[in-house]
A and B are shown apart, each in its own frame.
Chain A
Amino acid sequence: MLRLSPHVSPVGSRGGGEVTDGHAESSDEMLMVRYKRGDRAAFAELVRRYERALYNFALRYVKSRDAARELTQEAFLRVVRRAAEFRHESRFSTWVYAILRNLCLDELRRFKHRNHASLDAELPSGGALLDRVASDTVADDAERGVEQERLRVGLSRAIDALPDDQREVFLLRQLGGVPFAEIAALTETPENTVKSRMRYALDRLQKELCEYEEYARALR
């Protein structure tokens, strides 16, 4: 069984990673075509490219590791079941993010009724996930400055603090690499509205980052 490398591009398309089966130079769409023709190694390459990005997208959306894991797996299973529906009219990344987004929305709807354990609540100690990520990162990489770690934690908090519509656009564009036009298509929103949400999101993050020395240094 192939094992993916942890160094996978968050965007996915022609992402990096260790290549073992000669599919590295193929586009996502070509891999999908090959999978439809029975090449299961092509599907493994797609999973390798998108697993990390999709998992983090779902994690930011539903704020639960278990739910993000299940949703990521379910998104790939829907790719398998709906492979015949895939056309070259859109990019694979747009298609798979649309699938995952719908799954996340369904999960959030169910969460309201099931009183799902929140992302913050499931953390055993140390506060919220982002705090733990930040503390882990600090522990692992002691050479980085305290200021830089504060920036990362602050950024995570700022992203989580974004309104849902702005955070969704921000994640799709910044994390998923989905163009604005395709975000507009999959969210069924005018493109100008998408861009406005993105601009508001960047403005908010900019204000949050202003207090950090790292940001000021970059501006200089």
Chain B
Amino acid sequence: MDCERFDKMSLDLLYDELDELTTAAARRHLHHCTRCQGVWTKLRVTRELSSPPLEEPPEDLFESILLAEQAAHKQLPFRERFGRTISILAGYAMRPQLAMAALLLLMIGSSLVFLRASPSGRDRIGASERGAPSTELVAEAKERTALVLGTEGNGDAEPTATGARGTESAAAPGAAAEAALADGAGTAKSDKEGYREAMSAYQQGRYAEAERLFSEVAAAGGEKAAAAALHEAHAARNGSGCQRATALYDQVSGRYAGSTVADEAAWQAASCYQALGQIARARAHYQALAARPAYRTRAEQAMSALDPQVALASKAKAADAAEAAPAARAGAAAGPEEQTAPSAGSATPGEAKPAAPAAAKPSQPTTSP
């Protein structure tokens, strides 16, 4: 800082209107400049001594000012007084505690509004784990659809069938849902469609499902009932074996007696009995079939084939008896427990035990829907 600049800012320095940096620079200049030291000393002393002497104001001035203020306050326009009142109230209202309380109330209020706006049951959407619509929701949708259709006079839904479908849908949610939706639309599935669906399952090797579907078609009656009952027995034989299938075959044979379906059922029952070693029952069925022209030849051949089986069965029985005699004697010498133990190869007279497990399950019959 030079002397010229110091002169320019000496007044500001004198009345402390300079910032700290400039003040420090001016002080440094003063420290080594004799000329500016003289100027500065005169200015400082003049300021210190030139404070004007103050006269005391009149004693009543303070009170008169306050009285005048009181009077002036009353004379203020209503609008200004109202504004000051509002300002006073606003000063209280803007305090942090009130502001926080207002914010809290606002949050609670908005939360209640949003909670009330939860989705209604009508718009509810659900999905099962398999990605198919939930059966419960489908049933609800169907009921709503039925109500709508009923009011329009077009409702021809079948509650009973629908209930059955709903129960079955637990095993196959996708198919059941489709069926429920189809029923809800008022289009009942025909016998042919059911029979075709059952046959499809049968051909794909899903014998349990095929048996169930064929049973439904047979129970519903109609054109395909007899064929469905026969294939229900086929499915039972392929799925569970001859032991269960023979009963079904006999039912079909009795229910549809005189028809080709009954003859076929009797033939299949006979072959099953033969496979199970129940020769007498097999022979009885073959003899009955021999009276039917379509099965006479095959039935006679089957009966002739049964005779060697009977002979083999007799020989096996005699051999078992021969082996059992010394064993019984030895058993009598050893103890009573072994004597009473039945032989593994014992069989009922007139019945032959199957030679192999495969024989108990005859070849799959040809199916012609």
Q: How far apart are the CA atoms of A156 and B54 in the complex, in Å? A: 10
Contact present for A180 and B15 (CB under 8 Å): yes
Name the one of A1, A36, A81 contacting B76, with C-beta atoms under 8 angstroms. Answer: A81
Name the one of B42, B69, B83 contacting A84, with C-beta atoms under 8 angstroms. Answer: B83
Contact present for B64 and A180 (CB under 8 Å): no
Is B78 part of the contact surface with A, judged by Cβ < 8 Å? no
Smallest beta-carbon distance A192→chain B, Å: 9
Contact present for A195 and B50 (CB under 8 Å): no
Contact present for A202 and B43 (CB under 8 Å): yes
Contact present for B56 and A215 (CB under 8 Å): no
Q: How far apart are the CA atoms of A195 and B14 in the complex, in Å? A: 12
Q: Which residues of A contact B91 (CB under 8 A)?
A: 37
Contact A1 to B66, CB < 8 A, known contacts A36-B87, A84-B80: yes
Is B111 part of the contact surface with A, judged by Cβ < 8 Å? no
Contact present for B52 and A60 (CB under 8 Å): yes
Contact present for B11 and A198 (CB under 8 Å): yes
Is A159 part of the contact surface with B, judged by Cβ < 8 Å? yes
Name the one of A72, A80, A84, A209 contacting B50, with C-beta atoms under 8 angstroms. Answer: A209
Q: Which residue of B lies closest to A34 (CB)?
A: B91
Size of the A side of the interface (Cβ < 8 Å), in residues, is 55
Contact present for B15 and A173 (CB under 8 Å): yes
Smallest beta-carbon distance A207→chain B, Å: 10
Q: How far apart are the CA atoms of A51 and B68 in the complex, in Å? A: 14
Q: Which residue of B lies closest to A55 (CB)?
A: B57
Q: How far apart are the CA atoms of A214 and B65 in the complex, in Å? A: 39
Q: How far apart are the CA atoms of A159 and B54 in the complex, in Å? A: 13
Q: Which residues of A contact B73 (CB under 8 A)?
A: 40, 80
Smallest beta-carbon distance A33→chain B, Å: 9
Q: How far apart are the CA atoms of A151 and B183 in the complex, in Å? A: 120
**A3, A38, A60, A214: most-surrounded residue (chain B CB, <10 A):** A38
Smallest beta-carbon distance B78→chain A, Å: 14
Contact A55 to B53, CB < 8 A, known contacts A36-B87, A84-B80, A202-B43: no
Q: How far apart are the CA atoms of A52 and B53 in the complex, in Å? A: 12
Contact present for A180 and B12 (CB under 8 Å): yes
Name the one of A1, A81, A179 contacting B72, with C-beta atoms under 8 angstroms. Answer: A81
Tell me the B42-72 residues at the A interface (CB within 8 Å): 42-43, 45-58, 61-66, 68-69, 72
Contact present for B49 and A179 (CB under 8 Å): no
Smallest beta-carbon distance A78→chain B, Å: 9
Contact present for B83 and A174 (CB under 8 Å): no
Q: How far apart are the CA atoms of A202 and B42 in the complex, in Å? A: 10
Interface residues of A (CB under 8 A from B): 1-4, 6, 10, 36-38, 40, 43-44, 47-48, 51-53, 55-56, 59-60, 65, 69, 72-73, 76-77, 80-81, 84, 133, 137, 151-152, 155-156, 158-159, 171, 173-175, 179-180, 195, 198-199, 202, 205-206, 209, 214-215, 218-219
Other A-B contacts than A3-B62, A174-B50, A179-B17, 16 sampled, CB-CB below 8 A, are A2-B66, A38-B88, A44-B66, A52-B54, A60-B52, A69-B61, A73-B61, A73-B64, A76-B65, A77-B72, A80-B73, A84-B84, A155-B52, A158-B50, A159-B50, A159-B52
